A and B are shown apart, each in its own frame.
Chain A
Amino acid sequence: MSENELILKSAGLPESLTEEDERIIQTKLWQLLARHTELYTMGDSSSVRIELAQELLQSISFCLDLFLKQSGNTKKFFVEADLEELLRLGQTVCEEKIELGKKLYSMACRTAPEIDNISFRDTLKGIGGFFKHYDFRFFAHQIPCDIDYQLCNPVKESLQGIEYINDYLGRIIIENDFVRRFEINRTESLLNSYCSDYKGLLINLYAPLAANAVGLALLGEDVSKLNITASEGERLAKFFEPLSLTPAKKALNEAALRVCSELKINDASSLRYLRKTAEELYPRIEAALPHGKLSGIFISFDEMPSHT
């Protein structure tokens, strides 16, 4: 396999193009990569390592894809178009996304719950560094920062570069907003019961709150109290015992809607996020039911605080 084949394989041309289209696009990509590499090395080097060329090509593909998504065109458009011009337009889209990302980042920081969690704080801080180190001209597909904090509903692995960061930040904002709707002492009691080292370990802050809120909504209880007592846990087990997949998911979905209604969450994305979270509780419930206990999913506070 030649070095050209090695790098052009990563361009990911779709099957729907004709062979002639593919040949034209590959040749154009090759020429564009050559010019782009020359820009990168500033003319100092006529050759680069294959790994670097692959990275540069991935960056080009990422920006061209941004252009396609923005314009609604398909890859067929590349056959006739000037790819260098499209790359420039893609980079402009990328710049716009960076500006949006900065706003999202600012909002994510502003809305961060006042709960101590090392991975959450470090990840937010790290994303600040992303905007300093992100090189959209040559490595637009890369994510130059560490993201340790696990979201309740993770970002699609296929997203890259600024698209990944913006999606991640959008999810963080949804989670922040949800967590901040509960009294902090109750939140901390729940997190402490969920994981005694919730400050130091890589746990998601949103997930246990969402599960308990949904559980309380299913029982018709006040979702803001967050605590699910042992007897309430038993009631939940009895509730789910006779239900098959479809009615159980329906019940979880409706409970999520009730949580949003009680917490006055009107945003469609937040609603979707909680419904997805609620539905995804079902496999865990199904696995726990034969043991008769849902205490690993719907958490009881370790020590009953005075406010319950």
Chain B
Amino acid sequence: MEKDYSLEPVKAQMLAEVHELSECNEFSIKYGLVLSENQIQNLVQKRFETLRDTGRIEFGAGILKKLVYAFCDSPYIHNLNYEATILELQDAFYYFKNESDDRIADDELIEYMKDTFDGKAQGSIEYLTGTSLEELRRDAHHGFIDDVDDGKEDMD
């Protein structure tokens, strides 16, 4: 029988993440957002696919929980687009981690994404990824990470 020991940590990570996302429902229900068990399984599965596609590896629970906590109070997310939006945000998150050469911390990137999503982008993921995150990527490459804060001021 072929050995597959190295998949053990992935399985453990998946289980932990499913558990964490289930707990998120207790928080997000305040905003009318709840993920079904199938949706949670799908999100977790897609997380590993996205990581593979972006050539990244993640330890621990991952970014989904943080995305849910950050975005669940957005006026542009409702139960019908909740899963799809989180999925797209997750894709965008890992893509821009790569594109910025990891110069932007997770929390900073999520904060920027959330402020732009609720502000200039008015709930449009296309706008968020096509314009604002591209600007952020350019700024990161030129060492202008502080401009993240400027962006927030613009939105205010």
Given contacts A45-B102, A47-B63, contact A4 B51 (CB under 8 A): no
Tell me whether A27 and B51 are in contact (CB under 8 A): no
Q: How far is the CA of A53 from the CA of B58 in the complex (A)?
A: 9
Within 8 A of A (CB), among B22-79: 48, 51-52, 55-63
In chain A, what residue has the closest Cβ to B47? A47
* Interface flag for A133 (CB, 8 Å): no
Given contacts A5-B7, A27-B9, is CB(A44)–CB(B106) below 8 Å?
yes
Contact string, A224-244, partner B, CB cutoff 8 A, digits 1/0? Answer: 000000000000000000000
The reply to whether A33 and B59 contact each other, CB–CB distance below 8 Å, is yes
B6 x A45 contact (CB < 8 A): no
Query: How many contacting A-B pairs (Cβ < 8 A)?
Result: 78
* B52 → chain A closest CB, angstroms: 6
Render A30-58 as a binary contact track against B, CB cut-off 8 A, 1 for contact.
Answer: 10011001100100111111111100000
Closest residue of A by beta carbon distance from B65 = A46
Q: Which residues of B contact A85 (CB under 8 A)?
A: none
Chain A residues with Cβ under 8 A from B51's Cβ?
Answer: 3, 47
Whether the Cβ atoms of A46 and B5 lie closer than 8 Å is no
Given contacts A47-B51, A47-B97, contact A23 B59 (CB under 8 A): no
Measured CA separation A33–B5 after assembly (Å): 16
**B97–A2 touching, CB < 8 Å:** no
B117 contacts A by Cβ under 8 Å:
no
Interface residues on A, range: 20 to 34
Whether A4 lies near B57 (C-beta < 8 A) is yes
- B98 proximal to A (CB < 8 A): yes
Instruction: Using known A-B contacts A19-B3, A45-B105, A47-B63, determine if residue A4 contacts B56 with beta carbons closer than 8 Å.
Output: no
Residue pair B59, A46 in contact (C-beta under 8 Å): yes
Partner of A4, one of B3, B6, B63: B6
Could you tell me which A residues sit within 8 Å of B by CB distance?
A: 2-5, 7-9, 19, 22-23, 26-27, 30, 33-34, 37-38, 41, 44-53
| 14 further contact pairs, Cβ within 8 A, besides A46-B63, A47-B62, A48-B58 | A2-B10, A2-B52, A3-B52, A3-B56, A8-B6, A27-B8, A44-B107, A45-B102, A45-B106, A46-B62, A47-B57, A47-B97, A50-B57, A53-B57
